[in-house]
Amino acid sequence: MIYKLSFAVALCFSLCFDLCIAESYVLDDKVGLGRTFDGIGGLSGGGATSRLLVNYAEPYRSQILDYLFKPNFGASLHILKVEIGGDAQTTDGTEPSHMHYENDENFFRGYEWWLMREAEGAVDRFIAAVPFHPCIKLERLPWAFPGWVGHGKNWPYDFPDITASYVVSWILGAKHYHDLNIDYVGIWNERNFDSKYIKLLRYTLDKSGLERVRIIASDNLWQPITYSLCVDQELAEAVDVIGAHYPGTTTVIEALKTQKKLWSSEDYSTFNDEVGGGCWARILNQNYVNGLMTATISWNLVASYYEDLPFGRDGLMTAEEPWTGNYVVESPIWITAHTTQFSQPGWTYLQTVGHLVHGGSYVALTDSNGNLTVVIETMTHDHSVCIRPPLLPFNVTAQNVTFQLKGSFVSTVISDGSFTLSLDVDEVYTLTTISTGLKGTYPDPPTSGPFPKVYFDDFNVANPSFSEAPDFADQTGVFEYYINLTDPGPHVFTLRQVVTQMPVTWATDADQTISIIGDYKWQNLTVTCDVFMETVKTGGVFIAARVDKGGQSVRSAKGVFFWVFADGSYKVTNDLVGKTVLAEGLSGTRAYGWHTLTLTVEGQYATGLLNGYPLWKDAVVLGPKNGWAAIGTHSFELAQFDNFAVEAK
């Protein structure tokens, strides 16, 4: 039986016996088996890539989750990797830490807990009907840390006992509060790995009863970790998996010598059109054919963040419109299904895998109980370019291939021991004895549409499901729902910026905190918000329009920023850093009092109101012409926001 998926995303059945000349390939388990398959996964985080997903209404949110996780339906992912939020910008936004401060613990911040529960639930419901199906594996990795972990330095490993305890507390909290069993913990940083920390983490895990949790290191590059594993026995005993990011389907000899599991622990990172689907198809096969990698994890799981942030639409599918409910099941979902629906973690690769003579590759896996799955890809160069690393030229042409079955497959798979196929270019074929695969479908979601032009949020949610307010995307700092029990007035429920120290991060956090919202195409609009500064004299807050950058680029964001300060002054700037001043003067604003700010931008001019009265007008806007609305603070400081409103023309 052959499952064939073309880029028209049509799942069909076809058998092709061609009498023309065909190259011959052998599938044989008698010569021995290859490495054990560990699965295909997706990554939520690194950072804030699932931010908009939690705001989807039902049934659309559950439908999206089914396309990602439900076995024998869509992508049927085996692994979910999530970020341990570190209160820092880690690509497309900030995810909250479970410990903003040293004496603080809260295991209900953010949406990753919810996502892990939903992923496990989708698989558990299936297992109830189909026993012996493997559970989904959960992996976590910190991209960043709260500032207190680094003791004022942008480095988390000078005090490895503190960092290890911080990470282990998250794993313990996952089990205690959410009944989540974390299977893998990754160790990653941009500069290097720290062998002392890895050993201490292993010790701390074991001491905490977490012997089953496996360590992936360095979850970045093959070297220098592989060399260190070869010369440091204690380190080798601590590390279970060598993980590499964007390995280009190849590994290094030293990694193979370690006999460790090899994973592409972050890969893909490519726009999810047909070329992106081709990239994913090629690397899923060739990561094993070329590099003996037994797991591949996509960054990212689902493109559920504002598309104009860095790496827009780089997920396996797209879900970026919770305000309409629209989502798009992109080609990488079905590319994934070619492997995940017809093989499971614990299956074994055959040694007889490789490249096709006229381009493309094939892998074969068995469950050692008579089942066999073969996945063939014939991706051409221009149809399979990934964002990284660079792809050298190669040629693929249509071809006929004959597969000769030997060993135990001769009698159990096909009676005459061989079959011939005609392969076209830019296609993926799955040949399998498994008969349970399904191209799952739901009715079409609602039509795509822009962010509402009129928007209001008073944050009056007594028991919020998530710590983040709908549609706000924190770029630096963390803005959380806050209940001010000491305030009997109208501002009991607010949104509060809670990070008071620059985090430890590899990305470029701005010195100011900022959360964006809305439509990047907005030009003429009015933004209104009540603000409350909690830092005497040096405190400051802003509202903004036409903010043109976020994510890793947020530090250089331009727009129209209306600031008021606790020292009684105001300023209007054309940039987040506050260097290009359009207007400034006295405002009379102070800490520990509520003020209403109103910013109107129309054409080349901007006007600002304070508490309903004009504070400044007709400031000349130097640019940009469009962008998001935003709120934020002058520095990493406590401040509150309420009654946020936008009206765009």
Active site residue 266: yes
Domain presence at residue 304? yes
Q: List the CATH number of the domain containing 76.
A: 3.20.20.80
Say if 338 falls within a structural domain.
yes
Q: What is the pLDDT of residues 244-258, one digit of tens each?
A: 999 999 999 999 999
What residues pair up with 525 in beta bridges, in sequence order?
Answer: 601, 648
Q: Three-state DSSP class for 315?
A: coil
pLDDT of residue 190: 59
Q: Name the domain count of the chain.
A: 2
Residue 307 tokens, joined: 């598309």
The predicted-structure confidence for 34-63, as pLDDT tens digits, reads as follows 999 999 999 999 999 999 999 999 999 999
412 and 503 part of one domain: no
For residues 533 and 32, give the distance between their C-alpha atoms in angstroms, rounded to a whole number. 68
User: For the packed helices 160-178 and 195-207, what is the interaxial angle rounded to 10 degrees?
Assistant: 40
For residue 492, what pLDDT is reported? 94
DSSP assignment of 544-602 equals: EEEE---GGGGGG-EEEEEEEETTSEEEEEEETTS-SEEEEEE----SSSEEEEEEEEE
Residues 355 and 458 in one domain: no
In whole angstroms, give the CA distance from residue 372 to residue 403: 13
Instruction: Answer yes or no: do 560 and 514 share one domain.
Output: yes
469 and 410 inside one domain: no
Whether cis (ω within 30° of 0) applies to the bond prior to 71 is no
Q: Are strands 79-83 and 318-321 parallel, antiparallel or unpaired?
A: unpaired
- Whether residue 495 lies inside any domain: the answer is yes
428 and 466 part of one domain: no
261 inside domain = yes
Whether 362 maps to a domain, the answer reads yes
Q: Is the CB of residue 168 less than 8 Å from the CB of residue 206?
A: no
354 and 494 share a domain?
Answer: no
Model confidence pLDDT, tens digit, residues 580-613? 999 999 999 999 999 999 999 999 999 999 999 9
Residue 6: the pLDDT is 35
Q: Does residue 584 have an active-site annotation?
A: no
Measured CA distances, 441 to 6, 90, 271 (Å): 17, 34, 23
pTM, two decimals, is 0.95
Domain boundary among 401, 432, 463: 432
Residues 421 and 292 in one domain: yes
Domain boundary among 398, 432, 466: 432
The domain containing residue 178 runs over which residues? Answer: 25-432
Closest CA to 187 of 223, 215, 214, 225: 215
Does residue 16 fall inside a structural domain?
no
Write down the catalytic residue from 95, 120, 139, 266. Answer: 266
Decide if 4 is inside a domain.
Answer: no
pLDDT value of position 508:
82
> Do 475 and 414 share a domain, yes or no?
no
Sign (positive/negative) of CA torsion 75, 76, 77, 78? negative
Spatial separation of the C-alpha atoms in residues 407 and 372, rounded to whole Å? 12
In 344-502, which residue ranges form alpha helices assigned H by DSSP? 409-412
Q: Does residue 254 share a domain with residue 186?
A: yes
Provide the sign of the torsion angle of the four alpha carbons 382, 386, 387, 393, taken in this order: negative
CATH code of the domain in which 512 resides: 2.60.120.560
Beta strands in 231-337 (DSSP E): 241-245, 261-268, 295-299, 318-321, 326-328
pLDDT at residue number 13:
31
Please report whether residue 155 resides in a domain: yes
Residue numbers in the chain where pLDDT is lower than 50: 1-19
How many contiguous H segments (helices) and E segments (strands) does the chain have? 10, 38
539 shares its domain with 624: yes
Residues 182 and 309 in one domain: yes
Do 140 and 84 sit in the same domain of this protein? yes
Angle between helices 60-69 and 112-129 (to 10 degrees): 70
